Amino acid sequence: MSEIVKFVHHGASMITPKILKGVYKKLPFLKLKFANINDPKYPHLYEQLEFLADVVEDYAEGVEEDLPLTTVAAATFALVYAHRQLDLIPDTIPEYGHADDSAIVRAVMIEHEKILAAYAERHKMKFDRISVKP
């Protein structure tokens, strides 16, 4: 298991219902912040974060209450990590600033691919456009 996956597992294990509720309340702000990500090195990062925000939102609103909590917790952790001011690689570093955010998001997308692809299909989204596959 890669170190990134271990890091995501640990982070997701720390997501409590209170944290999930707090992230849910901040989703409009987070979506606006993520919309400003314009990094040619990570062209799908914004769409992936927006997708994971939709997953969390639909779960919190009861639209997708059957989603596994492990998937929702991992998605929530990815959103929290991408929003953090202090992360492993500061976002302000040219060319590399979003590398860690992208790695966290990709780990979540890969590990929960079947569940997230089924979610996308139910919501008439093109998962292959935002997934890790080119």
pLDDT in tens, 83-106: 875 565 555 555 666 788 999 999
Q: Quickly tell me which residue has 């597992």 as its tokens.
A: 9
Structure tokens at 11: 């982070």
39 pLDDT tier (thresholds 50, 70, 90): confident
30 pLDDT tier (thresholds 50, 70, 90): very high
The radius of gyration of the chain's CA atoms, rounded to the nearest angstrom, is 14
Identify the CA nearest to 70 among candidates 108, 29, 24.
Answer: 108
First-to-last C-alpha distance (Å) of the chain: 23
pTM: 0.90
32 pLDDT tier (thresholds 50, 70, 90): very high
